[in-house]
Every structure is written in C-alpha cells, then in structure tokens.
Amino acid sequence: MALATLCLALGKEGSEYVSVEGRSMMLGALALALYSFAVCQLLMRFRWSALAATTTAIALWLAVAIGSKHLLIG
C-alpha cells in the first residue's frame, strides 16, 4: 500500500515530495516494529495484561517516532 501511495504521489507531487514521504514511512515502520516487539516482550516474557503492555509501549512508539524525526529529518 505504501509503495502504491508513493507511486501516485510521484506523478502528482514530484520526486522531492516523494523522498520526504518515503523517509517518513520508513521511520514510522521502524517505530511500529519497536512498538510491536515491546508489546510482545511485555505480554510473553513479563506476563503483563494487554492493556498495560500496549499503553506502556505507546510511550516507546511516541519517543521513537518523534525522536527519529528530529534526528533524521530535522
């Protein structure tokens, strides 16, 4: 889905716009992967409830998403 969106944006907006969007999509995917890993660890290893694990991992997701944006994009 992301690749199709980028292809459509390339035709409409141009390559500079698509490069920024692609980078943002990759950072979002990284944040989601770390969030998923953290939730899995909290659920399986530490036996937390689903609500507690997902609520706690949202802080990690937010930190990675905002931090990577500021570090890599500016």
Nearest C-alpha neighbor of 43 from the set 55, 32, 31, 26: 55
Say if residues 12 and 28 touch (Cβ distance below 8 Å): no
The pLDDT value given to residue 1? 85
Give residue-wise pLDDT tens across range 5-25: 999 999 999 999 999 899 989
Nearest C-alpha neighbor of 61 from the set 41, 33, 23: 33
pLDDT averaged over every residue in the chain = 94
Give residue-wise pLDDT tens across range 29-44: 999 999 999 999 999 9
Predicted confidence band of residue 73 (pLDDT cuts 50, 70, 90): confident
Question: 74 pLDDT exceeds 80?
Answer: no
At 5 the three-state DSSP class reads: helix
Output Rg (C-alpha) for the chain, integer angstroms: 16
Say if residues 35 and 60 touch (Cβ distance below 8 Å): yes
